[in-house]
Amino acid sequence: MSVIIIISITSIISGITTGVIVTNSYKNSTGLTYNEILNDNYLNEFLEVYSSIIDNYYEDVDKEEMLDNAMDAMLEYLGDNYTTHLDSGETAELEKKLSGKYRGIGIAILQTEIVTVYKNTPAETAGLQVGDIIKSVNGKEFTIESGSQDIADLITNSKNDTIQICVLRGEEELSFEVKVETINTVDAEYKMLENNIGYIKMTIFSKTLSEQVTNALNDMEKEGMQKLIIDLRDNTGGYLESAEETANIFLKKGELIYSLENKDATVKYYDETDGYKNYPIVVLINENSASASEILAAALKDSYGATLVGAKSFGKGKVQQTYNLSDGSMAKYTSAKWLRPNGECIDGIGITPDYNVIKSVTQDANGNIINNEDNQLLKAIEVISAL
């Protein structure tokens, strides 16, 4: 059992599906006891009807499907957009997305072309390069029509610890033996900008994000970083523990990160670590920055003094309790609100940046993009340069 904050808005559900998941340590109530359940007249009536249907209905009944529908109806009754029932496939996909790990070799591919070779991965060790065109994997040939997913599935599902990849590099055909390992997803991309400004983009609050952020900051600090831009745009959430651990990297011990408010009490969560940072920080947010990313943005704004640039965030301030079922599915329902350090609940409101900048794209008369300059990032650089 755990607690989750999930975005559930139809227009962007395909992009915002993670929210915030936390563990039992954040739950104050243990639920009904068995004696209370046994003495619950309403539940006993439900069980009597269930038993009667199983015994007497004139056709065979799929008990699993009937109970799934009963659960859906129970959750739907609550009338809450964030309360729902995830089937086993949706549950597995969510947990996989947030694990921060995957089985692979450390490349990103578009159709059959390698577009990224990640650092310190088997692909880099083996000698694969950006621009290589994958011709075959373990003897299975691929064409541009095959698509990247077929290649990824073959690599991920390989039962062997190594695979043979044949690539086309220019006009030369090369073959590589590459290890298949469990490796971390890259959820924190970073680089140094001019004038000793560091830049880090956090894409999701996975289990490994805070570790990745720590490593990124160490690298950039060694290169002389004096100021930092944190990009949370289009980051739709993840584990609350990850957001809290990431905030701990920056805040001083004793600073408030967020609060959880349920029907019985409000519990405050403070930084309890000794480490902190003291350089200027600008945080980039937009309309798809949601849940865990809003928690971090609010903590850095209210308790660190960071400056926010971009567009108003999504506004997801409710917490959901989750319950994993034996069939692999998951039930989730709203159980609390989270509050930013200044005491505000941003649910349905969002976080307004200090500098509101709408991302602009220049198009020609035919609608073709002719200038896609990142004016939000440019504004962030302008703001942090003056700090």
H helix or E strand, kind and range, residue 156: helix 148-156
Strand partners, 173: 168
209-222 and 240-250 helices, crossing angle to 10°:
20
From 210, 212, 291, 303, the catalytic residue:
291
Q: How far apart are CA 83 and CA 11, in angstroms?
A: 17
From 206, 320, 321, 329, the catalytic residue:
320
Placement of tokens 């200038």 in the chain: 371
Residue 316 is a catalytic residue = yes
Residue 291 is a catalytic residue = yes
From 207, 316, 318, 379, the catalytic residue:
316
Residue 320 is a catalytic residue = yes
292-299 and 240-250 helices, crossing angle to 10°:
20
User: Which tokens is 240 given?
Assistant: 């609350």
Residues 6+ apart with CB under 8 A from 93: none
Q: Long-range contacts: 166-171, Cβ < 8 Å, 24+?
A: 166/134, 166/135, 166/136, 166/137, 167/114, 167/128, 167/132, 167/133, 167/134, 167/135, 168/132, 168/133, 168/135, 169/129, 169/131, 169/132, 169/133
Catalytic residues, which ones? 291, 316, 320
